[in-house]
């Protein structure tokens, strides 16, 4: 007779938090200094500069293009707030992609909230001007949600 061990809700919650924390750290520790569309690292072009075997080079290339080229479809104006939203969208996209590789895409909204808070704090500390109400623009929300959805789609190969 075989027995199945069912993990407790506390164990499942800890595992989800561990994965969420790992993905957030990978994304936030990126050495990316500008949009991924313009970054290269070794033989990779258009890279998020995240060192992980989970990221397929072709997916990374496509996500960097998607984040950059779709951006103007959602937010055509240019200012520091817009640059913040572009970089945040990239972080959300690659973070959701990594969650998908752990089969944890359901944590994407939580990751999006955490990345938004950390990036907002970091951007403010850099001394750049940013209008926090930009996060409430319908166009900004549509762009960030698009980035999250595209990252999830690429992680499962459904693109």
What digits encode the pLDDT tens for the residues 41-64?
888 888 999 989 999 999 999 999
* Residue 86 confidence (pLDDT) above 80: yes
Q: What is the pLDDT of residue 78?
A: 61
The reply to whether 110 falls in a domain is: yes
CA pair distance 146, 75, nearest whole angstrom: 12
pTM of full prediction above 0.85? no
The reply to whether 26 falls in a domain is: yes
* Mean of all residue pLDDT scores within the chain: 84
Confidence band, pLDDT 50/70/90 cuts, at residue 5:
very low
Helix (H, G, I), strand (E, B) or coil at 79: coil
Range of the domain at 81: 9-156
Helix (H, G, I), strand (E, B) or coil at 150: helix
Q: What is the maximum span of the chain, computed from C-alpha positions, in angstroms?
A: 65
User: For the chain, where are the alpha helices, taking DSSP H only?
Assistant: 9-28, 57-74, 80-101, 108-125, 138-156
The reply to whether 3 falls in a domain is: no
pLDDT for 104-158, tens place per residue?
999 999 999 999 988 888 877 777 767 778 888 899 999 999 999 999 999 988 7
Instruction: Give per-residue burial for 57-75: e unless 16+ CB within 10 Å, then b.
Output: eebbbebbebbbebbeebb
Tell me the β-bridge partners of 40: 45
The reply to whether 54 falls in a domain is: yes
Q: Provide mean pLDDT across the span 23-32.
A: 88
Query: Dihedral, CA atoms, 92, 128, 38, 145, nearest 10 degrees?
Result: 20
Cα 138 to Cα 72, 74, 107, 145, 152, distances in angstroms: 14, 9, 22, 10, 21
CB atoms within 10 A of CB 30: 19
* Residue 11 confidence (pLDDT) above 60: no
The reply to whether 144 falls in a domain is: yes
Q: Provide mean pLDDT across the span 3-12.
A: 50
Reference 17, options 110, 125, 109; nearest CA is 110
* Tally of structural domains, the chain: 1
Confidence band, pLDDT 50/70/90 cuts, at residue 14:
low
The reply to whether 2 falls in a domain is: no
């Amino acid at each position: 007779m075989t027995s199945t061990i069912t993990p407790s809700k506390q164990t499942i919650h800890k595992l989800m938090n561990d994965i969420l924390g790992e993905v957030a750290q990978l994304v936030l520790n990126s050495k990316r200094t500008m949009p991924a569309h313009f970054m290269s690292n070794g033989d990779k072009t258009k890279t998020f500069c995240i060192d992980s075997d989970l990221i397929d080079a072709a997916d990374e290339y496509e996500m960097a293009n998607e984040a950059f080229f779709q951006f103007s479809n959602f937010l055509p104006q240019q200012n520091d707030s817009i640059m913040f939203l572009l970089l945040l969208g990239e972080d959300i996209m690659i973070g959701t992609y990594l969650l998908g590789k752990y089969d944890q895409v359901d944590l994407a909204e939580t990751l999006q909230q955490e990345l938004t808070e950390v990036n907002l704090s970091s951007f403010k500390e850099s001394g750049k001007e940013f209008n926090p109400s930009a996060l409430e623009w319908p166009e900004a929300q549509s762009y960030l949600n698009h980035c999250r959805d595209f990252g999830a789609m690429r992680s499962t190969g459904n693109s």
